[in-house]
Each structure stands twice: as structure tokens, then as C-alpha cells.
């Protein structure tokens, strides 16, 4: 029998910097304790079989198949990519177990693909870097699955460890590990509303950003001056999308500085401003999520915001560690459809 290779990748919560990662800007994710574990057994034939505890029946696929809109698409895409990278020569049998809720903005898809690529790297005894694997994992989402995402999720789950944050410049791929605020927790709460990135609204926002990029003749909306965007005579929708990107990037730079300086009050303010921008300028929130964010702050969070691609999923709130229990109990009492997922805290 062939040998099995196992690898794990964490989920991540983005503290600030949403939709900046395909517009030349910074992001500030933190790895979570929830994660995905994959066991990979290389096969001599071209079959890709996947068992996942999240799905009742295993998937039986072929390496040569395109994405078909099935839950197993990321697995098939990752095994195809592993073949392109020379890590495998043929199919694989995969066993997946996960504590990351799917479609909730915590990067279950990137964690799954990165874990598969890390297991394949072990199988090959390759010294391909984690950054190379992150870039390859993004290719699986962009080219195999047709999800037009940026590089944040893959870099965060390939490189970050729980206990700190990662300030990432998505243009240069330079990153800096920063301390999470002492005495506070970055609490991740699921809104109870789930979305799929392939549903199209993420792609719609990307296309609106592309229109603004054409107008300004740049790939880097995030690096434009907000005043220049206001004055440019753009239509209302692309103008608001571009304004979100440019101001969100600046907030992310300021949030990284707040972490460096240990200024948790500034971090909280920036999170609140970020939520307002996602709600009003990028229009990626939902009324139920706005309510959840407002209650979070009303109950004593220093800041709270939607996190991830939007249109559902999780919020992240910065809460004093010694108030976390009471804060959470009251939040869940007022929002019974919400549920606690995880918290990022300094290690």
C-alpha cells in the first residue's frame, strides 16, 4: 500500500484590509486555531478520490476533469496543480477533516488547497517554499475554480501561525509578523449567513474595481489618493468602490502601526471605519451583519467589522479579554442565529 502524507493549514481572520489584495494594497490577517487537516495518498492512476467529514458521500473524480461546481473542485484543482509543479505524477486519495466553517470568510478553500499542496510537497520531498505554494494555491482558485480572489488567503494560511498578525503587502509579497493587542481578543463570530465566492457578487465587485482601474490606467487602486478619486469624474459606483480600496489600504497601514505601537484604541476605531466603508462604499455587507457589528460595539467591543469576502460569513470584534465571556453571552442572546467560532489572541 502507498504511504499517506498529512498536512494541516489554519483558517485565518482578516483584521482589516478587505478587497485590497487584488488592488495593490495591504491586508492584516491572523491565523486561527481552527484548521483543515489532509491526508494524501498518491495513486498510480489518474483518479482523485476525496472523503470529507463535511460530506456524506466521497467524491470520485478524474485529474483531467474541469471544475464542475462540486465541493470537491478545490481538491481536484490542487491535485492538478501538484502535477504541474512536479510534486505528484497522477491522482491521489484524500481524507479531509476540518474545523473551519465553509463559506464564512475564514479561508476554508485556501486552507484546504494549501494543506493538499503541503502534503504533496512532503510526498515529493521537495523544497518548494511556502510562498511558492501560496502562489500555486491562488492559481487553483483563479484558474481552475474561476474565483477571482487575491493572494491574501493563501499567503496567510501557508505562512502565518496562531498568536500574531501578518501585515502583508500584496504587491511585493513582503510581510511583517506583528503582535496582537495585549489583554484583548479578536473574537470571530459567525453571522449565521453563508455565501459562496462562486455565487458571483465577489466577481461583480472585482469587475467594478477593474472598471475603475481602466479609468485611472493603474492596477493599484489602493495606491491612489482619495482626493484624486473624488475629483476624477468617475460614475458613482466605480468611484465608491475605488474610494473604499484607497481608504481601506490607508486604514490597514494605520492598523499595522497601531499593532506595532500597542495602540488598541486606534485599532478599534480603524475597524469601525472599515466596516462603515464596506457597508456604504463597497456595499458588501448585509443588514443582519450591520446589526451584529453595531451590537458588538454597543456591548463594549473597541471595534468590530465584517471580515472576509462579504455578503455573509463572520464578523471580527476587538474585545478586552476579561470582558469576553459576558460580552459574548449577551451578543449571542441578542442574535440567536450567530455563533462563536474562534478568537485570535497574543501567544
Q: Which residues are catalytic?
A: 153
Alpha-carbon span 253 to 193, nearest angstrom: 30
The residue within the footprint of ligand ADP, chosen from 37, 65, 102, 283 (CB under 6 A), is: 102
Alpha-carbon span 143 to 138, nearest angstrom: 8
The region of 13-21, 37-45, 96-104, 339-347 touching ligand ADP under the rule CB under 6 A is 96-104
Backbone angles phi and psi of 24, in degrees to 5: 80, 20
Alpha-carbon span 308 to 19, nearest angstrom: 8
Q: Which of ligand ADP, Mg ion, none does residue 98 bind (CB under 5 to 8 Å by kind)?
A: ligand ADP
| Set of cell numbers at residue 222 | 489602493
Q: Which of residues 163-202 bind ligand ADP (CB under 6 A)?
A: 196-197
Residues 6+ positions from 54 with CB-CB distance below 8 Å: 71, 96, 98, 102
Alpha-carbon span 211 to 269, nearest angstrom: 30
Name the 3-class secondary structure at 29.
strand
Q: Which of Mg ion, ligand ADP, none does residue 201 bind (CB under 5 to 8 Å by kind)?
A: none
Alpha helix positions (H), 18-161 = 73-84, 108-124, 130-139, 152-159
Q: Which residue has the cell 510562498?
A: 131
The region of 102-110, 181-189, 257-265, 294-302 touching ligand ADP under the rule CB under 6 A is 102-110
The residue within the footprint of Mg ion, chosen from 20, 109, 154, 252 (CB under 5 A), is: 109
CB of 309 to Mg ion, least distance (A): 7
Contact call for residues 30 and 344 (beta carbons, < 8 A):
yes
Q: Which of Mg ion, ligand ADP, none does residue 14 bind (CB under 5 to 8 Å by kind)?
A: none
Pick between residue 42 and residue 74 the one whose CB is nearest to ligand ADP.
74
CB of 45 to ligand ADP, least distance (A): 22
Q: Which of Mg ion, ligand ADP, none does residue 162 bind (CB under 5 to 8 Å by kind)?
A: none
Q: Do strands 339-344 and 314-320 pair parallel, antiparallel, or not at all (unpaired)?
A: unpaired
The region of 66-74, 253-261, 271-279, 328-336 touching ligand ADP under the rule CB under 6 A is 66-74
109 binds ligand ADP (CB under 6 A): yes
Helix then strand then coil, % of the chain, to nearest 5: 45, 20, 35
The region of 12-20, 62-70, 108-116, 120-128 touching Mg ion under the rule CB under 5 A is 108-116
Backbone angles phi and psi of 203, in degrees to 5: -65, -35
CB of 164 to ligand ADP, least distance (A): 21
42 binds ligand ADP (CB under 6 A): no
CB of 95 to ligand ADP, least distance (A): 10
Residue (of 307, 318, 329, 322) closest to 11 by Cα position? 307
Pick between residue 149 and residue 234 the one whose CB is nearest to ligand ADP.
149
The residue within the footprint of ligand ADP, chosen from 49, 71, 131, 210 (CB under 6 A), is: 71
Count, residues in the chain: 347
54 binds ligand ADP (CB under 6 A): yes
Beta-carbon count within 10 A of 12 CB: 33
Contact call for residues 316 and 271 (beta carbons, < 8 A):
yes
The site for Mg ion (CB under 5 A) is made up of 109
The site for ligand ADP (CB under 6 A) is made up of 36, 52, 54, 71, 73-74, 96, 98, 102-109, 112, 196-197, 308
Amino acid at each position: 500500500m502507498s504511504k499517506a502524507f498529512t498536512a494541516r493549514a489554519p483558517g485565518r481572520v482578516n483584521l482589516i484590509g478587505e478587497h485590497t489584495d487584488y488592488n495593490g494594497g495591504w491586508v492584516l490577517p491572523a491565523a486561527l486555531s481552527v484548521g483543515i487537516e489532509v491526508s494524501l495518498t498518491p495513486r498510480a492512476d489518474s483518479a482523485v478520490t476525496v472523503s470529507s467529514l463535511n460530506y456524506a458521500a466521497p467524491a470520485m473524480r478524474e485529474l483531467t476533469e474541469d471544475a464542475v461546481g462540486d465541493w470537491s473542485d478545490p481538491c481536484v484543482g490542487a491535485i492538478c496543480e501538484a502535477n504541474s509543479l512536479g510534486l505528484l505524477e497522477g491522482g491521489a486519495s484524500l481524507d479531509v477533516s476540518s474545523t473551519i466553517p465553509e463559506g464564512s470568510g475564514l479561508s476554508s478553500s485556501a486552507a484546504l488547497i494549501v494543506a493538499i499542496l503541503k502534503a504533496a510537497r512532503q510526498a515529493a520531498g521537495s523544497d518548494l517554499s511556502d510562498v511558492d505554494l501560496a502562489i500555486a494555491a491562488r492559481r487553483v482558485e483563479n484558474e481552475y475554480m474561476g474565483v477571482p480572489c487575491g493572494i491574501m488567503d493563501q499567503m496567510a494560511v501557508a505562512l502565518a501561525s496562531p498568536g500574531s498578525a501578518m501585515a502583508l503587502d500584496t504587491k511585493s509579497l513582503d510581510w511583517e509578523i506583528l503582535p496582537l493587542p495585549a489583554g484583548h481578543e479578536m473574537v470571530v463570530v459567525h453571522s449565521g449567513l453563508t455565501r459562496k465566492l462562486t455565487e458571483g457578487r465577489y466577481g461583480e465587485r472585482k469587475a467594478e474595481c477593474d472598471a475603475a482601474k481602466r479609468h485611472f490606467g493603474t492596477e493599484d487602486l489602493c495606491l491612489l489618493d482619495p482626493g484624486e478619486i473624488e475629483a476624477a469624474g468617475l460614475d458613482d459606483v466605480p468611484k465608491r468602490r475605488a474610494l473604499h480600496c484607497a481608504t481601506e489600504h490607508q486604514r490597514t497601514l494605520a492598523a499595522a502601526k497601531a499593532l506595532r505601537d500597542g495602540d488598541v484604541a486606534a485599532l478599534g476605531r480603524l475597524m469601525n471605519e472599515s466596516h462603515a466603508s464596506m457597508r456604504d462604499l463597497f456595499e458588501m455587507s448585509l443588514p443582519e451583519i450591520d446589526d451584529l457589528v453595531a451590537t458588538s460595539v454597543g456591548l463594549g467591543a473597541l471595534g468590530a467589522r465584517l471580515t472576509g469576502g462579504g455578503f455573509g460569513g463572520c464578523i471580527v470584534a476587538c474585545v478586552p479579554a476579561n470582558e469576553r465571556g459576558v460580552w459574548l453571552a449577551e451578543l449571542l442572546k441578542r442574535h440567536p442565529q450567530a455563533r462563536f467560532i474562534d478568537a485570535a489572541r497574543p501567544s
